[in-house]
């Protein structure tokens, strides 16, 4: 009885975490010879599972192609003449990311002026998802096709049903595995937030130091210019034989 209640509790928690997980879905219509692109950011090592469904219209009148590029512009997914297709990829560990960039890890708060405060280093890798249509010559120019694009990342991109079959897991074990994956993703996001906080703190400290130096130099220049003006005016009045009060 206790095990059954524990299993239900774990399953409910897993469902809540699964719902809160990152999901991306779009539905739109496309006319002939059109391109629509979208951008998504994924942390390094994130598994992404996608599905593209094309409905309405005739396949012979308009072809729909799908293409996904990573942050470096390299094509990682390419599907031609899509009706219904699934795809998956893992965000490139070589993309620009503070967790795997040695330059970022050894970078301290007092070195941000040397590091040039590279904000882009702390932005998760962006992936460009493009859907293009190609109208067949001689077909109806008013032809439209509906495209449904679904993307799931993290634990939502994992097939736990297949995992249960492969590893012979019961319902409770599957729920625990899902919770573990979700918590792993959350820990990774928290680590990224901490790194981002350290980066911004370093930038603020570097900015404060620069402002302090600029203020000190400005004061020295103002005092020097004021002293020079006093000496110049005194010599000027002496030459003109003028007397001040």
Report pLDDT for 91.
83
Report pLDDT for 4.
55
Choose among 101, 102, 84: nearest CA to 92.
Answer: 101
Report pLDDT for 25.
72
Return d(Cα 133, Cα 113) in angstroms, integer. Answer: 47
Return d(Cα 208, Cα 15) in angstroms, integer. Answer: 46
CA dihedral 26, 30, 34, 40 (to 10 degrees): 0
| Phi and psi at residue 243, to the nearest 5° | -115, 135
Give every residue of the chain whose pLDDT is below 50, as ranges. 1, 17-20, 95-117, 245
Structurally, what CATH architecture does the domain formed by 2-209 represent?
A: Sandwich (2.60)
| 208-211, long-range: CB < 8 A, 24+ apart | 209/113, 210/113
Report pLDDT for 90.
85
Report pLDDT for 221.
95
Report pLDDT for 108.
45
Report pLDDT for 16.
54
Token pair 């932005």 in the structure block, residue? 123
Return d(Cα 122, Cα 193) in angstroms, integer. Answer: 10
**Do 154 and 185 form a contact (C-beta atoms < 8 A)?**
yes
Domain-wise residue ranges, the chain: 2-209
Q: What is the pLDDT of residues 121-152, one digit of tens each?
A: 556 678 899 999 888 777 777 788 889 998 88
Choose among 185, 178, 148, 149: nearest CA to 22.
Answer: 185
Report pLDDT for 96.
45
**Do 92 and 69 form a contact (C-beta atoms < 8 A)?**
no
Q: Which residues of 217-240 are buried (b: 16+ CB within 10 A; e: fewer)?
A: eeeeeeeeeeeeeeeeeeeeeeee
């Amino acid at each position: 009885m206790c095990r059954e209640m524990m299993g239900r509790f774990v399953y409910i928690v897993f469902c809540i975490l699964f719902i809160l997980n990152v999901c991306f879905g779009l539905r739109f219509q496309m006319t002939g010879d059109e391109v629509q692109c979208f951008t998504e950011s994924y942390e390094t090592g994130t598994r992404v599972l996608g599905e593209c469904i094309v409905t309405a219209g005739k396949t012979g009148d308009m072809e729909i192609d799908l293409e996904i590029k990573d942050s470096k512009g390299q094509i990682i997914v390419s599907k031609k003449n899509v009706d219904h297709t699934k795809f998956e990829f893992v965000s490139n560990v070589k993309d620009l990311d503070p967790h795997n960039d040695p330059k970022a890890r050894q970078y301290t708060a007092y070195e941000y002026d040397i590091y040039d405060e590279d904000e882009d280093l702390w932005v998760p890798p962006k992936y460009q998802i493009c859907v293009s249509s190609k109208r067949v010559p001689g077909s109806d120019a008013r032809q439209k096709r509906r495209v449904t694009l679904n993307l799931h990342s993290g634990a939502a991109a994992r097939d736990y049903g297949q995992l249960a079959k492969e590893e012979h897991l019961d319902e409770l074990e599957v729920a625990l595995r899902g919770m573990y994956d979700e918590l792993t993703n959350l820990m990774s996001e928290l680590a990224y937030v901490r790194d981002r906080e350290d980066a911004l703190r370093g930038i603020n400290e570097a900015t404060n130091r620069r402002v302090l130096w600029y203020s000190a130099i400005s004061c020295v220049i103002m005092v020097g210019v004021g002293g020079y003006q006093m000496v110049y005016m005194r010599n000027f009045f002496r030459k003109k034989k003028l007397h001040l009060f």
